[in-house]
């Protein structure tokens, strides 16, 4: 059963974004939500033979747990997320043989990823967790969900890749690109949620907040 929004207001529920991503912050701000930011610190290594979706979902839950642990007696609702880019020969999002493209280590790594992605479809998977931490931390309520968007990249040139790398934009982004970058505009079309590719499937997050009884603007 979802919690009552009136009860949430009465309890002065604090919303915490467990992410330092400016894209996620912007998406929540556009929803009209007030929130605090606490950056989680976890080991983000992928386990052996771990399916991509399981990996993203696990990281989102571990990020929420990491932020919740030191909050002691405070009541709060924690939102965490993890976005991965998956490049698969047969376009199956949870294919164990697919390549996960993380944040590029350097310019050469960014160049490699952008060349791999060019004129090919790939999947962007964002998993998110909402964790309601009670004052005594008894039976915390947790929702973990994920969304997948298929992204088709356009035929950008090598020169465009070099200009984009020189801008510095690829280096804090999984897959080495931002769909919203107006100068590079690397994406031809998508199948699914645009905001999911930015870093948070906002429609799904709104639904989960409602399920938690959190009062939306």
* CB-based contact 65:130 (threshold 8 Å): no
Q: Which residues pair with 191 in a beta bridge?
A: 150
The phi, psi pair for 180, rounded to 5°, reads: -90, 0
Integer CA distances (angstroms), 191 to 21, 37, 116, 147, 149, in order: 23, 30, 19, 11, 6
Instruction: Catalogue the active-site residues.
Output: 82
Residue in 39, 42, 72 with CA at minimum distance from that of residue 58: 42
DSSP H/E element including 108: helix 107-117
Q: What is the dihedral of CA 115, 148, 144, 21, to 10 degrees?
A: 40
């Amino acid at each position: 059963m979802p919690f009552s929004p009136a009860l949430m207001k009465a309890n002065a529920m604090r919303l915490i974004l467990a992410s330092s991503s400016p894209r996620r912050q912007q998406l929540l701000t556009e929803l009209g939500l007030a929130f605090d930011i606490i950056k989680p610190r976890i080991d983000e290594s992928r386990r052996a033979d771990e399916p991509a979706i399981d990996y993203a979902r696990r990281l989102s839950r571990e990020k929420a747990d990491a932020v919740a642990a030191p909050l002691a007696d405070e009541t709060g609702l924690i939102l965490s997320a993890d976005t991965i880019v998956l490049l698969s020969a047969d376009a199956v999002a949870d294919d164990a043989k697919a390549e996960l493209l993380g944040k590029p280590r350097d310019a050469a790594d960014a160049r490699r990823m952008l060349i791999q992605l060019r004129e090919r479809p790939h999947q962007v998977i964002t998993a998110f967790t909402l964790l309601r931490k009670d004052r005594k931390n008894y039976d915390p309520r947790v929702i973990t969900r994920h969304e997948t968007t298929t992204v088709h990249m356009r035929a950008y040139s090598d020169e465009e890749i070099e200009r984009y790398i020189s801008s510095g934009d690829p280096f804090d982004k999984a897959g080495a690109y931002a769909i919203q970058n107006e100068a590079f505009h690397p994406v031809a079309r998508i199948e699914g949620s645009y905001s999911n590719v930015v870093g948070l499937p906002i429609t799904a997050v709104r639904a989960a907040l409602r399920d938690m009884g959190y009062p939306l603007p």
